[in-house]
Amino acid sequence: MKVIAIANQKGGIGKTTTTAALAAGLKQRGFKVLAVDVDPQGNLSTSSNANNVELPTVYELLKGEVTAEETIQKLDVYDIIPANVMLAGAEQELSQLGKEQRLKEMLQPIMGLYDYIVIDTPPALGVLTINAFTVADEIIIPTTAGIFAATGIKQLHDTILKVRRYCNDKVKIAGILLTRFDPRTNNNQDMKEVTEQLGEYINAKLFNTYIRASIVIEEAQTRKVDVFSYKENSAVAQDYSAFVDEYLKGDRS
Ligand SMILES: Nc1ncnc2c1ncn2[C@@H]1O[C@H](COP(=O)(O)OP(=O)(O)OP(=O)(O)O)[C@@H](O)[C@H]1O
Ligand SMILES: [Mg+2]
């Protein structure tokens, strides 16, 4: 049983896409998978075709108004706990004491039912992302080569170190995943810079697999199907498939 948080405070760099592809890929390989949407934007929920309008979401879960079991929706692609814009109020509404622990506390009763829980986080390092880090065994950091700003990665790393110190001493970084890679604009120099900055600011490996930029991602999301079911043979589906395999090879649990 492993909990993986997908995080980067930068927006639009492929967190949600990676969460969905990893969860779907693990499920296709026979694992029991739960995806958890911890972003008020609810992009994972809508692109997975979950019902985040009429049914309870992670917001009610964090407030302790429902159990995890009551929030889980069993979809063909994977089980999911959805989110919607109500979650934006969580920062203010969660009581101060133990507010970083809420997600962990509420997921505990159902953890035994799954092999992997994959959590999508918002583009911020606030209480929601901290909740994800507090329950996580591992963090995967997607990033694009173009905006691999050292300061952002340092800030993210500092947050992870703080979580390790105060909330969850076992959490580690599984690796950095380059996404939306475009060979026309991203060159070898970019790759070299990324690797150098990695060594300088954060002690984590770069996954060998990188994810190419492709319109297929948006097409699949618009149709609310996972990238493998939509176009299994597309370059980007194959990239994500290779990433899932690379992740599993490194996962010795
Ligand atoms: N490999 C890719 N190729 C082309 N487009 C992509 C790729 N990955 C993601 N996208 C597109 O980029 C946009 C941002 O992706 P995504 O929603 O996964 O990022 P995010 O980090 O979750 O964003 P946010 O920070 O807003 O939650 C989406 O429109 C998505 O369809
Ligand atoms: Mg997202």
**Percent of the chain whose predicted confidence (pLDDT) is above 90:** 79
For the chain, the average pLDDT equals: 93
Q: How many CB atoms lie within 10 A of CB 78?
A: 27
Say how many CA atoms lie within 13 Å of 164 toward its Cβ.
13
Closest CA to 117 of 147, 78, 83, 67: 78
Index of the ligand 1 atom closest to the CA of residue 11: 25
Cα–Cα distance measured from residue 114 to residue 120, given in angstroms and rounded to the nearest whole number: 17
DSSP, res 4? E
pLDDT of the residue at 54: 97
How do residues 219-240 score in pLDDT, each as one tens digit? 999 999 999 999 999 999 999 9
Given pLDDT bands bounded at 50, 70 and 90, which one contains residue 204? confident
> Domain limits of the chain?
2-250
> Phi-psi region for residue 121, left (φ > 0), alpha (ψ -120 to 50) or beta?
beta
Given pLDDT bands bounded at 50, 70 and 90, which one contains residue 249? very high
DSSP-derived pairing of the beta strands 116-120 and 33-37: parallel
Counting ligands in written order, the one closest to the CA of 124 is 1
CA 47 to each of CA 43, 63, 69: distance values in angstroms, whole numbers, following the listed order: 6, 25, 22
Cα–Cα distance measured from residue 246 to residue 74, given in angstroms and rounded to the nearest whole number: 27
How do residues 8-49 score in pLDDT, each as one tens digit? 999 999 999 999 999 999 999 999 999 999 999 999 999 999
Across 186-207, average pLDDT: 76
CA 29 to each of CA 116, 181, 244: distance values in angstroms, whole numbers, following the listed order: 12, 25, 9
Counting ligands in written order, the one closest to the CA of 13 is 1
DSSP-derived pairing of the beta strands 138-143 and 33-37: unpaired
Strand partners for 118: 4, 35
Question: Which of 6, 9, 16 most suits a substitution to test ligand 1, by most atoms within 8 Å of the C-beta?
Answer: 16
Cα–Cα distance measured from residue 206 to residue 221, given in angstroms and rounded to the nearest whole number: 26
Index of the ligand 1 atom closest to the CA of residue 211: 1
Question: Which of 217, 221, 240, 243 most suits a substitution to test ligand 1, by most atoms within 8 Å of the C-beta?
Answer: 217
Cα–Cα distance measured from residue 69 to residue 67, given in angstroms and rounded to the nearest whole number: 5
**Cβ–Cβ < 8 Å for 226, 49:** no
Index of the ligand 1 atom closest to the CA of residue 120: 22
Question: Which of 17, 19, 215 most suits a substitution to test ligand 1, by most atoms within 8 Å of the C-beta?
Answer: 17
The strand ranges marked E within 84-159 are: 116-120, 138-143
pLDDT of the residue at 253: 55
* CA of 8 relative to ligand 2 center, distance in Å: 9
DSSP, res 115? S
Given pLDDT bands bounded at 50, 70 and 90, which one contains residue 149? low
- Ligand 1, atom 3, lies closest to the CA of 213
pLDDT of the residue at 60: 97
What is the value of pTM for the model shown? 0.96
* CA of 250 relative to ligand 1 center, distance in Å: 25
Helix (H, G, I), strand (E, B), or coil: what is residue 162?
helix
Flag whether pLDDT at 193 surpasses 70. yes
Residues with CB under 6 A from ligand 1: 11-17, 39, 41, 43, 123, 179-180, 211, 213-214, 217-218, 221, 236
Across 96-118, average pLDDT: 96
Q: Evaluate whether the domain defined by 2-250 bears CATH number 3.90.1170.30.
A: no
> How deeply is 176 buried, as exposed, middle or buried, from its count of CB atoms within 10 A (0-12, 13-18, 19+)?
buried
Tokens representing residue 155 in the block: 């800030």
- Ligand 1, atom 17, lies closest to the CA of 16
